[in-house]
Amino acid sequence: MITIYTTPSCSSCRKAKKWLDQHQLPYEEKNLFSYRITSEDISLMLKNSDNGFEDIISTRSKVFKDQELDPDNMTVSELKEFILDNPSVLKRPIIVDDTKMQVGYNDEEIRVFVPKRLRDLVMCKDCPDDGVCDYQTQLKKYFDEIKAE
Mean pLDDT, the chain, whole residue set: 89
Q: What is residue 33's predicted lDDT score, i.e. its pLDDT? A: 92
Give 18-61 pLDDT, tens digit per residue: 999 988 899 999 999 999 999 999 999 999 999 999 999 998 88
Question: What does the alpha-carbon distance between residue 98 and residue 47 come to, in Å, rounded to a whole number?
Answer: 9
- Residues marked active site are found at 10
The pTM assigned to this predicted structure is 0.82
Task: Say whether pLDDT at 2 is over 80.
Answer: yes
Percent of the chain with pLDDT over 70: 95
Task: Say whether pLDDT at 130 is over 70.
Answer: no
Answer whether 46's CB lies under 8 Å from 5's CB.
no
* Closest to 93 (Cα-Cα) out of 34, 2, 7: 7
Q: Which CATH architecture has domain 2-113?
A: 3-Layer(aba) Sandwich (3.40)
Domain spans of the chain, in order of start: 2-113, 115-149
